């Protein structure tokens, strides 16, 4: 039997918004765990709580109740500053709108996180170049985001997310702004990283192409898990 | 380096806005520095004309003389006192003087004047020889008078003037002295109302043998006036002699400078407020535009403190660029007007002369002016950039990235 390592554990997680005094349960008592090497897609209709769940798993948002454990650390118990440091060291992010710094080149955007981590210039440069090569952007290291296509920018965002050697990567609708060719390209890269490096990916997505590639699909509705399907 | 590089590149993301902000700071800096340089230059000129070339920056006189300026309040001239003063650090010259008042007549014209007895060999302030219009600036047996006074009395070198006054202990001080020279003094007041005669002759006229009313003292340009004053007081250690600096001797001059300067400071304040609002607008726009990016950076793991440092660096760079531009633009202007003072003509000239001021406005090239106002602009910009810092402090990454 293949040994597993729990990367993320979610326990009875709730997020309630008080919209005009009417409580809205964006996430309503979700419990689940994500193991190392999973390629998980969280799916469901708009407003079902995918992004809210992902934000809480990534420590970007605090739950109303319940807790998230990353590598057995309760991120709910961390202070604001410690949580920022925790994200820096343990979690990689890929956003829908790429969110690259427009004034930095592809290589600088990739090495930015490592610079925040205090890595040496040589190490940063070497790793950033290798990561950009891995995502198929060799030779484009000096290009600014404005000089890259949407698909290329998202690949830089993946390289940036990998730069800090995180425990897992959260990707919120990473293909929403991409054409089919770029989407296929990006998914191939992520799938390869998942296969070869056992990198754990958690997606929130509507995109059937992402869902088709996923090894596990969690379906949400009204803030609750409706189905949790593990594919062979 | 990361912050510097990011800050510098961020600055040029919106080139037009950055340039407008830099020029707003530069305009305020340019205007304030130019205005204060001209004002300070004019004040320095007033002080130089009145103090530097007449009273001296410091004076030693009989205690009580300054309150009642009469010959009876004179004291015995002593070479040892002069030497003692001269030996103090920061003192560049000591001039014994006897000052009295007299009616001066020529023909049917009469005017009350100040009679200044001085020793041309020791004189450090008057510089009459450099101001000669006719004759000499070193009187021996006669008088040297201001050109305005000469014009009023309609006299020239060689004419004789009648002096009618009161000397030491009530003795009459009358004399008929020839005009040896006519000088043009930069202080209009002195030019209209002063007659200079040799110290020995003055002591004779005022029946005050070997007596003087003051030692006028000049100081080195970089000397601390108060320190020199205190050293002289300590060195003389004589209760009957008083040491006074020009600010205590001429409070009306100090007050008129302060009153005029207040207007300039008010003007500078108004400019700073206007520029302050312009900067605030820039920082509000910056914070709103970058909210999403700030949220993303915090999300990725950048601490708020690091982000604040970045925002502060950007604000500092804006201010420094603006201030540097202001200094670069102002310096040639102030240098030009320092060496080529603005000369007032017509009614402005008359008005200034009536106020006893020279109708000339040289600019000051003292570095303290651009440095002070540069620092004020820097602090103002950094103070207003607090808005960005507060915004960063309040950012919630999730909400910011949704914006």
Give yes or no for a contact between B73 and B280, defined as CB atoms under 8 angstroms apart: no
Burial of B279 (0-12, 13-18, 19+ CB in 10 A): buried
Residue B216's beta-bridge partner residues? B59, B95
DSSP string for residues in B279-345:
HHHHHHHHHHHTHHHHHHHHHHT--HHHHHHHHHHHHHHHHHHHHHHHHHHHHHHHHHHHHSPEEP-
The residue of chain B with its CA nearest to that of A91 is B300
Mind listing the pLDDT tens digit for each residue in A144-178? 999 999 999 999 999 999 898 899 999 998 888 88
Is residue A55 classed exposed, middle or buried when 0-12, 13-18 and 19+ CB atoms within 10 A define those classes? buried
**Both tokens assigned to A30:** 């979700």
Rounded distance, CA B370 to CA B354, Å? 32
Mean pLDDT of the region B61-78: 89
Please tell me whether residue A178 adopts helix, strand or coil conformation. coil
Most confident region among B117-131, B215-229, B318-332 by mean pLDDT: B318-332
C-alpha distance from residue B165 to each of A105, B259, B355 (Å): 89, 36, 27
Chain A within 8 Å of B403 (Cβ-Cβ)? no
Farthest CA pair distance, chain A: 54
In the predicted model, what is the mean pLDDT of residues B185-205? 89
Cβ B302–A116 below 8 Å, yes or no? yes
Question: Chain A partners of B398 at a C-beta cutoff of 8 Å?
Answer: 55, 60-61
Q: What is the rounded average pLDDT of the residues A70-83?
A: 91
- pLDDT surpasses 90 at B125: no
* pLDDT tens-digit series, residues B9-68: 988 988 998 999 899 899 999 999 999 999 899 888 888 777 766 778 899 999 889 889
ipTM for the predicted complex = 0.89
Chain B neighbors of A102, CB-CB under 8 A: 13
* Amino acid B355: pLDDT: 64
Q: Look at residue B53 in the predicted model and tell me its pLDDT.
A: 65
Distance from CA of A139 to the nearest CA of B (A): 23
Q: What is the pLDDT of residue B51?
A: 78
| Residue A140 in this model has a pLDDT that exceeds 90 | yes
Cβ neighbors of B225 (< 8 A, separation 6 or more) are B57, B58, B219, B245, B246
**pLDDT above 50: residue A58:** yes
Cα separation, B169 vs B172, in Å, equals 9
Most A CBs within 10 Å, among B289, B293, B300, to test the A interface = B300
| pLDDT at residue A63, rounded to an integer | 93
User: Which residues share a beta bridge with A39?
Assistant: A201
Backbone angles phi, psi at B236, to 5 degrees: -75, -45
Query: Chain A contacts of B300, Cβ < 8 Å?
Result: 87-88, 93, 112-113, 116, 160
Instruction: Map out the domains of chain A with their CATH numbers.
Output: 6-100+167-230 (3.40.50.300)
d(CA A210, CA A175): 8
Model confidence at A1: pLDDT above 50: no
**Does pLDDT of A3 surpass 90?**
no
- Using a CB-CB cut-off of 8 Å, the residues of chain A touching B296 are 95, 99
Inter-chain Cβ pairs, chain A and chain B, closer than 8 A: 52
Cβ atoms of B48 and B360 closer than 8 Å: no
Asked if residue B141 has pLDDT above 50, the reply is: yes
Distance (Å, whole) CA B59 – CA B2: 60
A87: nearest CA partner in chain B: B301
Q: Is A122 left (phi over 0), alpha (psi -120 to 50) or beta?
A: alpha
Interface check B10 vs A, CB under 8 A: yes
CA-based R_g, chain B, Å: 30
d(CA A103, CA B5) in angstroms, rounded, equals 9
| Cβ-based neighbours of A35, under 8 Å, separated by 6 or more | A4, A5, A6, A7, A200
pLDDT attached to residue A21: 75
Closest partner CB to B13 (pick from A99, A102, A160): A102
Count other C-beta atoms under 10 Å from residue B245's C-beta. 19
Q: Which residues contact B41 (CB under 8 A, 6 or more apart)?
A: B334, B337, B338, B341, B361, B362, B363, B364
List C-alpha distances in Å: A45 to A60, A220, A222, B125. Answer: 22, 8, 9, 93
Chain B hits for A99, Cβ within 8 Å: 292-293, 296, 401
Cα–Cα distance, A59 to A61 (Å, whole number): 5
Residue B350: which pLDDT band, with cuts at 50, 70 and 90?
confident
Task: For B304-347, write each residue's pLDDT tens digit.
Answer: 999 999 999 999 999 999 999 999 999 999 999 999 998 888 88
Residue A35, CB-side half-sphere exposure with 13 Å CA sphere: 7
pLDDT at B238 exceeding the cut of 70: no
pLDDT of residue B351: 75
The answer to whether B25 and B279 have CB atoms below 8 angstroms apart is: yes
pLDDT at residue B52 in the model: 66
Is the per-residue pLDDT at B130 higher than 90?
no
**How does DSSP classify residue B151?**
H
Output DSSP code: residue B127: -
Q: Which residues of A touch B (CB under 8 A)?
A: 55, 58, 60-61, 81, 84-85, 87-89, 93, 95, 99, 101-104, 112-113, 115-117, 160, 164
Provide the CB-side half-sphere exposure for B376 (13 A, CA): 21
Q: Do A55 and B306 touch (CB under 8 A)?
A: no
pLDDT (0 to 100) of residue B354:
66
Q: Do A89 and B303 touch (CB under 8 A)?
A: no
**Is pLDDT above 90 for A124?**
yes
Q: Is the pLDDT of residue B376 over 90?
A: yes
Q: Whole-structure pTM over 0.80, yes or no?
A: no
């Amino acid at each position: 039997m293949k040994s597993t390592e729990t990367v993320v554990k979610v326990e009875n997680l709730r997020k309630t918004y008080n919209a005009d005094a009417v409580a809205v349960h964006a996430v309503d008592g979700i419990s689940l765990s994500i193991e190392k090497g999973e390629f998980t897609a969280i799916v469901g209709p708009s407003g079902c709580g995918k992004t809210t769940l992902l934000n809480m798993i990534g420590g970007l948002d605090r739950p109303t109740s319940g807790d998230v454990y990353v590598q057995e650390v309760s991120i709910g118990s961390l202070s604001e500053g410690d949580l920022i440091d925790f994200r820096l060291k343990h979690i990689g992010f890929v956003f829908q709108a790429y969110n690259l710094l427009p004034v930095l080149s592809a290589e600088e955007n990739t090495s930015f996180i490592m610079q925040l981590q205090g890595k040496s210039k040589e190490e940063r440069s070497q790793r950033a170049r290798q990561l950009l090569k891995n995502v198929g952007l060799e030779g484009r290291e000096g290009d600014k985001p404005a000089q890259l296509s949407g698909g290329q920018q998202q690949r830089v965002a993946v390289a940036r997310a990998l730069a800090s050697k995180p425990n897992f990567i959260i990707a919120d609708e990473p293909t929403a702004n991409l054409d089919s060719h770029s989407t296929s390209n990006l998914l191939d890269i992520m799938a390869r990283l998942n296969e070869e490096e056992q990198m754990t990916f958690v997606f929130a997505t509507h995109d059937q192409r992402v869902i088709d590639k996923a090894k596990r699909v969690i379906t949400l509705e009204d803030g609750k898990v409706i189905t949790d399907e593990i594919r062979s | 380096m990361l912050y510097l590089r990011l800050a510098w590149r961020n600055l040029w993301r919106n080139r037009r806005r950055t340039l407008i902000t830099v020029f707003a700071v530069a305009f305020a800096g340019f205007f304030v520095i130019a205005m204060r340089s001209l004002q300070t230059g004019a004040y320095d000129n007033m002080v130089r004309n009145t103090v530097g070339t007449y009273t001296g920056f410091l004076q030693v006189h009989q205690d009580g003389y300054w309150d009642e300026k009469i010959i009876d309040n004179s004291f015995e001239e002593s070479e040892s006192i002069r030497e003692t003063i001269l030996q103090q650090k920061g003192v560049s010259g000591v001039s014994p003087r006897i000052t009295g008042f007299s009616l001066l007549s020529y023909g049917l014209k009469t005017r009350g004047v100040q009679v200044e007895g001085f020793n041309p060999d020791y004189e450090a302030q008057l510089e009459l020889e450099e101001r000669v219009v006719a004759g000499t600036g070193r009187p021996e047996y006669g008088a040297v008078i201001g050109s305005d006074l000469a014009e009023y009395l309609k006299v020239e070198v060689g004419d004789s003037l009648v002096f009618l006054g009161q000397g030491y202990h009530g003795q009459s001080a009358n004399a008929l002295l020839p005009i040896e020279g006519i000088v043009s003094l930069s202080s209009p007041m002195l030019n209209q109302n002063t007659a200079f005669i040799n110290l020995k002759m003055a002591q004779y006229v005022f029946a005050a043998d070997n007596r003087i009313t003051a030692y006028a003292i000049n100081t080195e340009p970089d000397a601390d006036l108060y320190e020199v004053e205190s050293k002289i007081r300590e060195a003389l250690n004589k209760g009957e002699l008083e040491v006074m600096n020009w600010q205590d001797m001429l409070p009306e001059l100090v007050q008129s400078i302060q009153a005029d300067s207040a207007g300039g400071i008010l003007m500078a304040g108004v400019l700073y407020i206007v520029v302050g609002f312009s900067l605030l607008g820039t920082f509000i726009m910056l914070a709103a535009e970058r909210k999403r990016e700030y949220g993303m950076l915090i999300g990725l793991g950048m601490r708020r403190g690091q982000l604040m440092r970045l925002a502060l660096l950007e604000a500092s760079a804006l201010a420094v660029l603006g201030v540097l531009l202001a200094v670069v633009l102002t310096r040639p202007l102030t240098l030009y007007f320092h060496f080529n003072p603005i000369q007032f003509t017509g009614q402005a000239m008359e008005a200034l002369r009536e106020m006893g001021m020279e109708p000339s406005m040289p600019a000051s090239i003292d570095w303290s002016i651009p440095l002070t106002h540069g620092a004020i602009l820097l602090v103002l910009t950094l103070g207003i950039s607090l808005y960005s810092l507060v915004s960063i402090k309040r950012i919630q990454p999730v909400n910011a990235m949704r914006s």
